[in-house]
Structure 1
Amino acid sequence: MTVRMFMGDARVDAIAPDDRGLAYGESLFETMRIHRGDIPWWDAHMARLTHGTQRLAMPLPDATRMYAEAMALLDGADGVLKLQLTRGGGVRGYAANSDAAPFWMLSMHPLPNRIDSLDTIWCEITLASQPRLAGLKHGNRLEQILAANEVRAANADEGLMCDGAGRVIAATSANFFALIDGHWQTPVLDACGVAGVMREWVLAQVDAHVTSLKPSDVECADAVFLCNAVRGILPVQRLGARAWPRTHPEIRALQAALAQSHPGFEPLLEAS
């Protein structure tokens, strides 16, 4: 893994011991697919990061500087770029130090293993409701970690998570769409969940209903897929005892449109 770290405008060699992202999870992050040293959806990720800093009243480093440092790090490679941003250092205690310079870190990672469809489970761990944080990709991911442990124990690929009221929200690391009665539907994220960049792209392509969904709604769907900005669009082949065909024409059409929009997903479409 190749890493570059910064405190404000200055490059640093390590994260500070009093960093608030480390101490309290006061942080945001973006995970971006890299194609031949380029970041095709950089603007979309920066828009979400900017929205997150506004919601949390966190400082945002200069976007031009972040982009230049990211491009220097990539050096023509394919892979995954992770950008982590914290408020920076501060005194002990929950109250934030408004004068601290933000800490940000860029790290380069290999692409995940190729997978064409997903074997999924229902996770027992639920997502807590907090409307002030709903939609944000913040650094507090303990619920997803517990859910991922369930997925690993079941030898599955992914797990679907509900909130405390029993509404389906998302997978552990992806957003969720279901084809029900001829219409794509995706969960409303007004109390929890991450509003993914890939989710926003899909919503711009199809006339999807953003609504509340129960597990029984999902199990009766004609097709289901998960999506994120690293793996793209992946059909769900199995959810517990429910099975679907490996491919569906509407999912295939969305994958083809994605390959046109983001060159990093062209090889995936050709191989499927």
Structure 2
Amino acid sequence: MTGTDSGDPMVAVTDRGLAYGDGLFETVLVRDGVPLLWNEHCARLSRGAGRLGFEAPAREWLDALPGQAPQGEHVLKIMLTRGSGGRGYRPPIPAEPRCYWQFIPFKPMPERWEKGVSVRLCRLRLARQPALAGLKHLNRLENVLARQEWQDDAIAEGILLNDRDQPIEATAMNLAWFDQGQWWTPELTECGVEGTLRRVLIDKGLLSIAKTEDAPLPRFLNSQSACLFNSVQGLWPIVECFDSGHQHVPGQWPIDGPVRRLQDGAHTLMGYQFNFPTS
């Protein structure tokens, strides 16, 4: 495994991650040198490398990274590529993967935890590709184009739909809504990123997976409550939704007990201080 940190500016122009997006990345919240949801991040990186057909770094090698963080809260960004070699799109066998990493100072947004956020529906539609579904791969042009659709800072996130107008995720966060007495999050068998916080919340029984065919856009828009979450920002309640023409759509949600209870569960996992009422 070849590795380089943010202090080394050299990236090979032949690196397949740069040339083709042939690789994966993780963004890990690190607090005073301790990584949050670390087992889940390492497991996702390993699963992704296996799907792409090359080796992930050894766990012992990865375990040495978070301890290099300065004190305080940082995001550890790990980028794993197939390395260089091969001819055109044909990958080298065996591959010689490279791993790049850096620590980025981070401050959460507690006002968004407390007051919630406004979102919009993106015009861009996610392509269905089961071979890549769930992976946090380096080719994120869909997300870039979707995020380019708005510049209004009052809109915190954009909701991404597939080509059948079914909600899948936000540009950088997972999505959930509350109805029928439980929290639902879209299945990600055709597209979307399987977030580490999402996986833990499902494993703990706090989230249920909604089959794509059972989750049309009106089900999300007419739900009782809704939220966004990831393993860095925590959980943001959604309070209103606009369409791509900046008009309100039916989705307007209170910050109610179900939101606060799920938020409390998520933030406990992440070590965030959370003092908002849960009832």
Q: TM-score, normalised by structure 1?
A: 0.89
The yes-or-no answer on 1:8 pairing with 2:10 is no
Which residue matches 1:179?
178
Letter in 1 for 2:2: G
Q: Deviations over 1:70-109 (max 9, x none)?
A: 312x033312111110000114400001234211111111
Native 8 Å contact 1:151 1:157 kept in 2: no
1:9 Cα deviation from its structure 2 partner: 6.0
Matched ranges for 1:1-272 at <5 A: 8=2, 14-72=10-68, 74-112=69-107, 114=109, 115-116=112-113, 117-152=116-151, 155-203=154-202, 204-206=204-206, 208-212=208-212, 213-240=215-242, 241=248, 242-245=251-254, 247-263=255-271, 265-266=272-273, 269-270=274-275
SS in 2 for 1:126: strand
1:260 Cα deviation from its structure 2 partner: 2.8
SS in 1 for 2:144: helix
1:14 Cα deviation from its structure 2 partner: 1.4
RMSD, aligned CA: 2.0
Letter in 2 for 1:103: R
Q: Deviations over 1:103-131 (max 9, x none)?
A: 11111112255123111000000000100
Greater shift, 217-226 or 104-113, is seen at 104-113
Counterparts of 1:183 and 1:205 in 2: how far apart (Å)?
10
Gaps of 5+ in 2: 243-247
1:219 Cα deviation from its structure 2 partner: 1.1
Q: Deviations over 1:120-155 (max 9, x none)?
A: 000000000100000100011111111111132584
Native 8 Å contact 2:134 2:188 kept in 1: yes
SS in 2 for 1:18: coil
Letter in 2 for 1:164: D
Letter in 2 for 1:104: C
1:69 Cα deviation from its structure 2 partner: 2.9
Counterparts of 2:117 and 2:146 in 1: how far apart (Å)?
16
Counterparts of 1:10 and 1:207 in 2: how far apart (Å)?
37
1:8 Cα deviation from its structure 2 partner: 2.3
1:184 Cα deviation from its structure 2 partner: 1.6
Counterparts of 1:154 and 1:109 in 2: how far apart (Å)?
22
Counterparts of 1:162 and 1:228 in 2: how far apart (Å)?
18
Q: TM-score, normalised by structure 2?
A: 0.87
Which residue matches 2:245?
none
Native 8 Å contact 1:82 1:106 kept in 2: yes
Counterparts of 2:127 and 2:183 in 1: how far apart (Å)?
25
SS in 2 for 1:124: strand
SS in 1 for 2:168: strand
Letter in 1 for 2:265: A
Going from structure 1 to structure 2, the CA distance change for 1:109 and 1:178 (only over 3 Å counts) comes to same
SS in 2 for 1:151: coil
Give the share of equivalent positions with the same residue, in percent: 31
Q: Deviations over 1:164-210 (max 9, x none)?
A: 12211110011111112222211111110011101112212325243
Q: Deviation above 3 Å: which 4+ runs of structure 1?
A: 9-13
Letter in 1 for 2:259: I
Counterparts of 2:9 and 2:144 in 1: how far apart (Å)?
28
Native 8 Å contact 1:119 1:156 kept in 2: yes
Native 8 Å contact 1:185 1:208 kept in 2: yes
Greater shift, 143-152 or 124-133, is seen at 143-152
